[in-house]
Amino acid sequence: MNAPQLIIVALSGGVDSALAALLLKEAGHRVEALFMRNWEDDEQGYCTAAQDLQDAQRVASHLRIPLHRIDFVQQYRDEVFEDFLRRYRAGQTPNPDVLCNRFIKFGACLEYARRLGATQFATGHYARIGRHDGNHRLCKGRDAGKDQSYFLHAIDPAVLGQVLFPLGKLTKDEVRQRAHAAALPVFDKPDSTGICFIGERPFQAFLAQYLPPVPGPIETPTGEQVGTHQGLMYYTLGQRQGLHIGGRRDANEEPWYVAGKDHARNALIAVQGHDHPLLFSSSLETEAVHWLVPPTAQRFECTVKTRYRQPDQACTVILRDGVVQVHFTTPQRAVTPGQYAVFYDGEVCLGGAVISRNSL
């Protein structure tokens, strides 16, 4: 009798991947785990890789499955972190999780799992793999508040048939409950937040290690200076905190928000009021699009997310030389260059692209 095929689970040390491994083992699969380290940091207390490894080891021991370890530190710096810095240097606000999924988790890590003999690769993402006309499709997870298809839209569609998302049909509450019932050692471990390599440290302090401050004026749309910023790369559209614009006799008491960046003059544009018209965009343009489901028309209607956890927004997509123009049915707030526009047809993720510019 042939040995059962091997499934390798990317075990991060958190509750989601731990339960994914448990569910696969309970289903009778031959399961092994793989812990990958993507970052090294000399500052103690911020990088959680050591603790995450210990937690992964405890989970693997509890489940009685082998745990493999691999470092992708150099690949991560080359493929993810350098792009992160390049975009911040250009005044954009990037999302490194997308490239991490594309090049590291479902690139280098998946390839390493294959070398270990795996026929399938599983993670604890909240997403699903569907089938349509014989093709695999990336679909939203059942838990709308945790769905992670937004972060997965850039992976190679050719690998979808080798990928498993055991949590795709579960809610986060169900995951916690099942992990507790199974006495998984990390059942109550808090979810990680923010960008993985920054951890809980102040973001501006981290970024300043690589991109030193370049102070300049904070101005109103009419050109009046109302404050001083420390560098355009430290701010994102729609941001309220950290502007340090004090009370002004000639202004109302509404809070200030970042509405734009004038790179030529190193000026940050700020407006008052959460719903100021300059915070809204009627359209956007993208860089080259990564399609999971190639479009069959040059113009079509679908929905789009311009940030994680945003409700789907109706739009019209127009293809032009590999990039797209997106026209919103309803103007959208804080559409931010460097973030991703991710397209959907109902539950199916069609693909996405980096936002290059927005338009009022």
At which of 138, 166, 181 does a domain end?
181
Q: Which residue has the tokens 């991703």?
A: 340
φ and ψ at residue 156, rounded to 5 degrees: -65, 120
Same domain, 263 and 299: no
Q: Does 240 reside within a domain?
A: yes
State how far the Cα of 305 lies from the Cα of 335, in Å rounded to an integer: 10
Residue 201 tokens read as 């440290």
Helix (H) or strand (E) holding 314: strand 313-320
Q: Pick from 102, 110, 109, 9: which is nearest to 292 by CA?
A: 102
CATH number, domain containing residue 296: 2.40.30.10
Q: Does 296 reside within a domain?
A: yes
Residues 52 and 10: beta-carbon distance below 8 Å: no
Q: Which domain holds residue 225?
A: 215-274
Same domain, 147 and 238: no
Q: Does 210 reside within a domain?
A: no
Same domain, 229 and 305: no
Q: Does 192 reside within a domain?
A: no
Q: Given this model, what pLDDT does residue 195 score?
A: 65
Q: Given this model, what pLDDT does residue 1 score?
A: 45
Q: Given this model, what pLDDT does residue 43 score?
A: 53
Same domain, 48 and 166: yes
Q: Given this model, what pLDDT does residue 132 score?
A: 87
Same domain, 176 and 29: yes
CATH number, domain containing residue 233: 2.30.30.280
Q: Given this model, what pLDDT does residue 42 score?
A: 53
Report, as residue numbers or ranges, the catalytic residues. Answer: 100, 196
Residue 71 tokens read as 């470092």
Q: Which residues pair with 333 in a beta bridge?
A: 280
Same domain, 175 and 54: yes
**What is the residue-wise DSSP string for 28-74?**
T-EEEEEEEE----SSTTT--HHHHHHHHHHHHHHHT--EEEEE-HH
Angle at 31 between CA 28 and CA 32, to 5 degrees: 165
Same domain, 29 and 163: yes
Residue type for 94, please? P
State how far the Cα of 350 lies from the Cα of 178, in Å rounded to an integer: 32
Q: Does 322 reside within a domain?
A: yes
Same domain, 19 and 37: yes
Helices (H) and strands (E) in the chain, counts: 9, 18
CATH number, domain containing residue 109: 3.40.50.620
Same domain, 226 and 355: no
69 three-state secondary structure: strand
Same domain, 247 and 306: no
Same domain, 270 and 284: no
Same domain, 152 and 86: yes
How many structural domains is the chain composed of?
A: 3
pLDDT one digit per residue (tens) for the chain, 360 residues: 456 799 999 999 999 999 999 999 999 999 999 999 988 765 555 567 788 999 999 999 999 999 999 999 999 999 999 999 999 999 899 999 999 999 999 999 999 999 999 999 999 999 999 998 889 999 999 999 999 999 999 999 999 999 999 999 999 999 999 999 999 999 999 887 666 666 666 788 889 999 999 999 999 999 999 999 999 999 999 999 999 997 666 667 899 999 999 999 999 999 999 999 999 999 999 999 999 999 999 999 999 999 999 999 999 999 998 899 999 999 999 999 999 999 999 999 999 999 999 987
Q: Does 135 reside within a domain?
A: yes
State how far the Cα of 158 lies from the Cα of 111, in Å rounded to an integer: 13
Q: Does 199 reside within a domain?
A: no
Residue type for 357, please? R
Q: Given this model, what pLDDT does residue 251 score?
A: 63
φ and ψ at residue 315, rounded to 5 degrees: -155, 165
